[in-house]
Amino acid sequence: MKRIFITGLALLGLFQLRAQNIPTDSTAYKSKKLKLEEVNLVSSYYKQDGNNSAVTGGTGSEHLTDIANTIDVKLVKYGETGIKHTFDIEAGIDHYTSASSDMIDLSANSSASSSDNRFYPSLTYLRENEAAGRTIGIGVSSSTEYDYQSFGGNISFSQKTKDKNGEFTAKFQTFIDQLKLIQPVGASTSEEYGSSANRNTFAGTLSYSQIVNKNLQIMIIGDVISQNGYLSLPFHRVYFANGSVNQEKMPDTRLKIPLGFRASYFLGDNMIIRAYYRYYTDDWSLKAHTADLEIPVKLSQAFSISPFYRYYTQTGTKYFKPYGEHTAADAYYTSNYDLSKFDSSFFGMGMKFTPPNGIFGLKHWNTLEIRYGHYTRTTNMTSDIISINIKYK
């Protein structure tokens, strides 16, 4: 746990001189020069336990730990015609250890897959015409780890209504992935067959937000997500009723449709009720419902808390069966409990500090947020996550 605090404080030190040298802009002047608007430093620690590892056919340890660190930098400038240009640069790195991945090679005491690092940079550019209420965006991203490489791109368009109380947004994203085909067998090391396989994801999002009155804001969100390519994971074992062991086999296409509704209701100046509901369906016969509630409460000028709860339930895909229940009659098969029928709960608390003189006396480092959440699932998997966000603005 110490790793989280050390990382956040070290990154804070890198920006201390910069934060002290930038004067407060209290006028309406819009800078024509590129300037630093906001920096977010986020560190988190995640731990999970369970006994339904897909690597060992739906049984075995799911113990996993993950330490994640990201830095997000937002730069802004105004053009000669008043157009606002925003550049959002983000870079993150995770380090995880996984008991289930360590079992890709059952004969080894510890395999190369027992731990790994993931690096994921991204860059987003937004061009906003504030007078017309119109924003156009474009972004690229990448994610790299030992057996997986992903490249992403997105474009977006937003238009506010004439009275600026409503906003329509359309976004298209694509992810082109390549994964190494690692067999869940081997004498001392995991073996690769072939070289790699492709997986492509295309997602379209439409949303509309509306300020109904001074107390209520709502948003409607709809997605269509299409995937094709190698959608299995080659190191997931499936044990059949006859005792044979096979690699997970799933269809090479998948269509997902999530539909969501979000609302925020302001109870005076010190309390907000934020609610969210989502319905999900796909052509693998998996259906799910998500209900989320968060209530930020401002206890003082500098301190607020945000208790939250999320309930999730899904039917499970028709291709799932537990350890030893698949037969040769099954065209597709998995024992991955993420695709099984289950219910889950996620609850916790966020705490936000906004001292008048800034964090550690640095005026522009004005926000420190700590969040903790506990997750439970009816398949007997549990997890805990704690995160820290330090903001410069």
Q: pLDDT digits over 225-240, tens only? A: 999 999 998 888 999 9
**pLDDT in the model for residue 12:** 43
Q: What is the 3-state secondary structure (H, E, C) of the chain?
A: CHHHHHHHHHHHHHCHHHHHHCCCCCCCCCCCCCEEEEEEEEEEEEEEECCECCCCCCCECCCEEEEEEEEEEEEEEECCCCCEEEEEEEEEEEEEEECCHHHCCCCCCCCHHHEEEEEEEEEEEEEEECCCCEEEEEEEEEEEECCEEEEEEEEEEEEECCCCCEEEEEEEEEEEEEEEEECCCCCCCCCEEEEEEEEEEEEEEEEEEEECCCCEEEEEEEEEEEEEECCCCCCCEEEECCCCEEECECCCEEEEEEEEEEEEEECCCCEEEEEEEEEEEECCCCEEEEEEEECCEECCCCEEEEEEEEEEEECCCCCECCCCCECCCCCCEECCHHHCCEEEEEEEEEEEECCCCCECCECCEEEEEEEEEEEEECCCEEEEEEEEEEEEC
This model's pTM is above 0.85: yes
pLDDT at 100: 61
187 found inside a domain: yes
Is 27 a member of any domain?
no
pLDDT over 70 percentage in the chain: 85
Assess if residue 193 is contained within a domain. yes
Q: Tens of pLDDT along 249-289? A: 999 999 999 999 999 999 988 999 999 999 999 999 999 99
Kindly tell me if the per-residue pLDDT of 216 is higher than 90.
Answer: yes
pLDDT given for residue 103 in this prediction: 61
| Predicted pLDDT of residue 250 | 96
What's CA 229's distance to the chain center, in Å? 22
* pLDDT recorded at residue 284: 97
Mean pLDDT computed over every residue of the chain: 88
- Least confident span in 62-66, 321-325, 360-364: 360-364
Q: Is residue 374 part of a domain?
A: yes
d(CA 155, CA 168): 14
Residue 1's pLDDT is what? 36
Mean pLDDT, residues 83-107 taken together: 82
- Is residue 28 domain-resident? no
pLDDT value at residue 157: 98
Q: How confident is the model at residue 362 (pLDDT cuts 50, 70, 90)?
A: confident
| Residue 104: per-residue pLDDT | 63
- What pLDDT is stored for residue 140 in this prediction? 98
For residue 318, tell me if it sits in a domain.
yes
- The answer on pLDDT for 4 being more than 60 is no
- Weakest mean pLDDT among 16-30, 172-186, 331-345, 373-387: 16-30
Whole-number pLDDT of residue 6: 39
Rg (CA), the chain: 24
User: Residue 94 is part of which domain span?
Assistant: 2-22+35-392
| Distance (Å, whole) CA 152 – CA 141 | 5
pLDDT digits (tens, 9 = 90+) for 130-170: 999 999 999 999 999 888 899 999 999 999 999 999 999 99
CATH code for position 202: 2.40.160.40
pLDDT value at position 115?
Answer: 79
Residue 30 lies inside a defined structural domain of this protein: no
Domains: count for the chain: 1
pLDDT of 235 reads 83
